[in-house]
Amino acid sequence: MASGADSLSRYSSSSSIENRLGLEVDFTGANTEASLRFHRFHESLNRSLKVQAIGLGILADAVESGRSEKDIKAALYKRPGWLWGGMPDWRTPLSVIEDVRGDLGRSGLVRVFSAYDVFASDLTADVDRWRSFTNTTVLSDDVPELESDYDEEGHVDRAARLFRYLSGNAAGLHEWPLYQYFRIARNCIVHRGGIASTAFADAYPSDAITNALKGWRERTGERTVPELVSAQKGQRLEFSHRQALSASSVLRLMVLHINAKFVKKLGRRGMVYLASRHALFTSPPVLSQDFDTVFAAIGFLLDKRYRVRNFERHAVQRALRDLGITRQCREQFSALQNQLRTLHATSY
């Protein structure tokens, strides 16, 4: 198998993969594994928060219609395990429901940023994986942290650093002021028990956010304009599921911008290389179904999972050969296929 250095010299030649795959391949809107996982999280969170909000709304309707605690408890006990540990304090049920609605928003916002951190970690790992293969410096060496990367809590803002690596200006993004607002809110929830800091009080209202919200639907393609709330220093953040859903939408836009720049920087050879890594060598591997050849498996991943359009399947074979990893991929593919067949045989 060719080394990284040997492979690098191959695709800098006149018969490089960039030329041989042709110009018809379209990476517009293509996913990476990191961006796909965040998108799926975004969809899952939307479903979860909306269902929970529906449940709270139905419960509030029941309380307002005069349904007693005893009746509600009896209905819940018909579903084994749903009411675990008995009923909560029910002296002021509508107030309890409103508090829970706030918890949905605050915990949902924290989940959004946790998912974004996973995206940033996964994308950084792919950056370093590709740069290591091509014998270039890893991201941490090439893009050192700056003082401006740190937020008011002393934590590094990974979005700004990723954009700097990708030759982009995060501050120039339409959604950047809203991203900063939600990041400060997340810090208040995690580090201050949901109490507004000076930074949060100063973040909104602001001219930057007002300008960002103007023409939001037209400029972003989003169907719903983010809903923000203000608070003075020392006040509790009165969030609901609306703010969590807004934050998820804003961060999804961030992910799309970062991902698009990364795909452009990778190019054809980088996308093929990372597709082979995720299809065959990650744990657990993305490959989970039977294919005739390793080229068909990686081509399927690029086409169906990563949405690379107009990618001819036979081009994968040439790509792997130019990258110098054909034998390695074939051997790993054969081992995985044997594992899948054994698993399928024992499941019947």
**96 and 18, same structural domain?**
no
Note the pLDDT of residue 16. Answer: 41
**342 and 249, same structural domain?**
no
Q: Which of 260, 293, 321 is the endpoint of a domain? A: 260
Percent of the chain at pLDDT > 70 equals 85
**328 and 207, same structural domain?**
no
**3 CB-near residues (< 8 Å, 6+ apart):** 324
Please give the mean pLDDT across all residues of the chain: 85
- Residue 154 and residue 336: Cα distance in Å, rounded? 44
Residue owning tokens 């290591």: 132
Compute, in degrees rounded to 10, the torsion defined by CA atoms 15, 18, 19, 22: 140
Confidence of residue 64 (pLDDT cuts 50, 70, 90): very high
Higher per-residue confidence, 338 vs 50: 50
**81 and 117, same structural domain?**
yes
Q: Which of 202, 226, 260 is the endpoint of a domain? A: 260
**103 and 214, same structural domain?**
yes
Burial of 319 (0-12, 13-18, 19+ CB in 10 A): buried
Higher per-residue confidence, 298 vs 86: 298
- Residue 237 and residue 34: Cα distance in Å, rounded? 31
Note the pLDDT of residue 136. Answer: 76
Higher per-residue confidence, 111 vs 153: 111
- Residue 340 and residue 348: Cα distance in Å, rounded? 13
- Residue 259 and residue 274: Cα distance in Å, rounded? 14
Q: What is the pLDDT of residues 280-290, one digit of tens each?
A: 998 887 876 77
What's the whole-number mean pLDDT along residues 306-332?
88
How many domains is the chain built from? 2
Q: Which of 237, 260, 283 is the endpoint of a domain? A: 260
**235 and 153, same structural domain?**
yes
Query: Are 285 and 334 spatial neighbours (Cβ–Cβ below 8 Å)?
Result: no
**51 and 167, same structural domain?**
yes
**276 and 253, same structural domain?**
no
What's the whole-number mean pLDDT along residues 320-346?
83
Q: What is the pLDDT of residues 21-31, one digit of tens each?
A: 444 678 888 99
Taking the CA of residue 196 as centre, how many other CA atoms within 13 Å lie in the half-sphere pointing to its CB?
Answer: 19
Residue 70 has pLDDT above 80, yes or no: yes
Note the pLDDT of residue 171. Answer: 76
Residue 2 has pLDDT above 50, yes or no: no
Distances, alpha carbon 114 to alpha carbons 108, 187, 317, in Å: 10, 12, 37
Note the pLDDT of residue 28. Answer: 86
**71 and 214, same structural domain?**
yes
What interhelical angle do 93-133 and 158-165 show, nearest 10?
A: 30
Where b means 16+ CB within 10 Å and e means fewer, 91-119 reads eebeebbeeebbebbbebbbbbbebbeeb
Note the pLDDT of residue 156. Answer: 73
Q: What is the pLDDT of residues 176-233, one digit of tens each?
A: 999 999 999 999 999 999 999 999 999 999 999 999 999 999 999 999 999 999 999 9
Residue 14 has pLDDT above 60, yes or no: no
In 3D space, the residue among 234, 200, 253 whose CA is nearest the CA of residue 38 turns out to be: 253
What tokens were used for 62?
């029941």
Domain housing 187 = 33-260
**248 and 119, same structural domain?**
yes
What tokens were used for 227?
């809903």
What's the whole-number mean pLDDT along residues 313-330?
90
**200 and 132, same structural domain?**
yes
Peptide bond into 177 cis (omega under 30): no
pTM of the full predicted structure?
A: 0.85
What tokens were used for 257?
């911008």
Burial of 305 (0-12, 13-18, 19+ CB in 10 A): middle
**63 and 173, same structural domain?**
yes
